[in-house]
Amino acid sequence: MFNAIVIEKAVSGTQAKLKALNESELAQGDLLVDVVASTLNYKDALAITGKAPVVKSFPMVPGIDLVGRVSKSSDANYQVGDLVLVNGFGIGEKYWGGLAEKASLSSAWVIPLPKPFSAHQAMAIGTAGYTAMLSVMALQQHGIQKQDGEILVTGANGGVGSFAISLLSQLGYSVAASTGRPEESDYLQSLGACRIIDRCELSQAAKPLQKEQWAGVVDCVGSHTLANALAATRYGGAVTACGLAQGMDLPASVAPFILRGVTLYGIDSVMQPLAKRKQAWQQLAELFDAAKLTSISREISLSDCIATAESLLKGHIRGRVVVNLEK
Ligand code: NDP
């Protein structure tokens, strides 16, 4: 038997519980792992609380990220005892995920735990940090240089936002952080933000074109915020869109695209091919700062996950939550 968070259909909506499951209930993957650590992402919180239709089949074990120690393998590339990392690929949505003491995986989803990270550190980064890295890589590949001007990060106190600020500042970019929690300004500045913006300035309906401010944008928020970010991006600049914390809509005009040549990059972490994942984790390893990672993350146990998911959606959690499955 092993413990897991299990989401089941209820009379109205869904219900998440901590339950003991039998190993025979796991799907037949080519890797069986003892989960060492997982995380609580925004998407996991939506799944656990049932606030959005993240879960595609029931019962479901949530958890879109995990580090596991291989206990059975029918893939010659992985041996018993190896530590492996999964971000996305449908775990916690279509396939049972990381908020459990055991998981059955396809070897097509995993990469070896990248050096120099411990399981805890990789989960402190998790999908949030890896998505922030993909966003920063898109701006770099667009050719944005540090001397081109400020980069705006929205949803600054969230997991993706916190990592984006830290990564951009380590790369020498000047970062403006948009937040609804100005009381966390010291924290955002400690991550490397040069300027704090009240998110109210960006959350109302946008004029199609505004004063050119941003060389690039990492947007985690969507809706009016993304529209305002696009409208104030400099000629030839780029904006990445990964999130929908304000909303799924995009009430924008084409003016920034056709008059300023602005480019909007969509960022998806879930189905990203393995080669790009490895590249992102390689760059994360190069920029890795253990002290900053500690200040961004805190640890909980499996039994804390349901309550913490509620707090996360209320915007009460700063940075990243690591779930220790060996506690
Ligand atoms: P978090 O919950 O950690 O952070 C979201 C942040 O958004 C909050 O901390 C808050 O920042 C801000 N925010 C919340 N509500 C609003 C609002 N109504 N208006 C404006 N800002 C708001 O989530 P993550 O950082 O983990 O994820 C951010 C987004 O990215 C989510 O929508 C998530 O689903 C998405 N995502 C997408 C991925 C992909 O592959 N495309 C992968 C990972 C995440 P503050 O308090 O500073 O204002």
Domains belonging to the chain, first-starting first, are 2-116+293-324 (3.90.180.10), 127-266 (3.40.50.720)
Contact 169, 195 (CB under 8 A): no
Q: Is residue 315 predicted with pLDDT exceeding 90?
A: no
Answer whether 265 contacts ligand 1 (Cβ < 6 A). no
Type and span of the H or E element at 85: strand 83-87
Atom of ligand 1 lying closest to residue 157 CA: 47
Supply the pLDDT for residue 291.
Answer: 81
Q: Nearest-5° angle of CA 70, CA 64, CA 156?
A: 130
Supply the pLDDT for residue 293.
Answer: 86
Q: Which residue has the least CA distance to atom 4 on ligand 1?
A: 158
Answer whether 52 contacts ligand 1 (Cβ < 6 A). no
Q: What is the pLDDT of residues 97-150, one digit of tens each?
A: 999 999 999 999 999 999 999 999 999 999 999 999 999 999 999 999 999 999
Q: Which residue has the least CA distance to atom 18 on ligand 1?
A: 246
Supply the pLDDT for residue 29.
Answer: 93
Confidence band, pLDDT 50/70/90 cuts, at residue 290: confident
Answer whether 123 contacts ligand 1 (Cβ < 6 A). no
Q: What is the pLDDT of residues 20-58, one digit of tens each?
A: 999 999 999 999 999 999 999 999 999 999 999 999 999
What percent of the chain lies above the pLDDT cut of 90?
92
Q: Is residue 298 predicted with pLDDT exceeding 80?
A: yes
Give how far Cα 42 sits from Cα of 13, 102, 231, Å: 19, 22, 27
Cα 199 → chain centroid: 20
Contacts 24+ apart (CB under 8 A), 181-185: 181/157, 181/315, 181/318, 184/157, 184/318
Q: Is residue 327 predicted with pLDDT exceeding 80?
A: no
Question: 3-state SS string over 296-319?
Answer: HEEEEEHHHHHHHHHHHHCCCCCC
What percent of the chain lies above the pLDDT cut of 70?
100
Cα-to-centroid distance, 30 and ligand 1 (Å): 34
CA–CA separation, 32 and 212 (whole Å): 52
CA–CA separation, 46 and 57 (whole Å): 15
Supply the pLDDT for residue 292.
Answer: 80
Q: Which residue has the least CA distance to atom 19 on ligand 1?
A: 246
Supply the pLDDT for residue 317.
Answer: 85
Backbone angles phi, psi at 62, to 5 degrees: -75, 180
- 217, 220, 246, 308, best to mutate for ligand 1 pocket (most atoms within 8 Å of CB): 220
Q: Is residue 296 predicted with pLDDT exceeding 90?
A: no
Answer whether 161 contacts ligand 1 (Cβ < 6 A). yes
Confidence band, pLDDT 50/70/90 cuts, at residue 258: very high
Average pLDDT along the chain: 96
Answer whether 43 contacts ligand 1 (Cβ < 6 A). yes
Can you tell me the mean pLDDT for 283-310?
91
Answer whether 128 contacts ligand 1 (Cβ < 6 A). yes
Backbone angles phi, psi at 142, to 5 degrees: -70, -20
